[in-house]
Amino acid sequence: MTVERVRDNRSEQEFTLTIGDHRAVAAYQQEGDTIVFTHTVVPPEIEGRGVGTKLVHGALDLVRDRGLKVVPQCRFVRSYIEKHPEMRDLLA
């Protein structure tokens, strides 16, 4: 099963991670220099394999690289940041 790296599809405002034929999505809205994560979706076929965690970690790395801040409206993203203190500096 092929795993891609996390990509930022800016036109759709979503970070994506494709595994095989399935695509996990972390949707966002960019407001100035802030990314508001609205929801995360992992297809049932690839749940329970850490896909959501890999997706959010990669998305937050891309956000950091762009010098942006984060508002985690999505509870999955919020939970990830709570469990990973090294990401808390990204909070707006």
Domain range list for the chain: 7-90
Cα(37)–Cα(81) distance, rounded to whole angstroms?
A: 12
Q: What is the pLDDT of residue 28?
A: 98
Number of C-beta neighbours around residue 41 at 10 A? 14
Q: What is the pLDDT of residue 66?
A: 96
User: How would you write the pLDDT of the chain (92 residues) with one tens digit per residue?
Assistant: 555 899 999 999 999 999 999 999 999 999 999 999 999 999 999 999 999 999 999 999 999 999 999 999 999 999 999 999 999 999 99
Q: What is the pLDDT of residue 4?
A: 80
Q: What is the pLDDT of residue 19?
A: 92
**Contact between 28 and 37 (Cβ < 8 Å):** yes
Query: 7-90: what fold?
Result: Aminopeptidase (3.40.630)
Q: What is the pLDDT of residue 2?
A: 57
Q: Identify any residues that bridge with 80 across adjacent strands, giving them in sequence order.
A: none
Residue 34 φ/ψ, nearest 5 degrees:
-125, 135
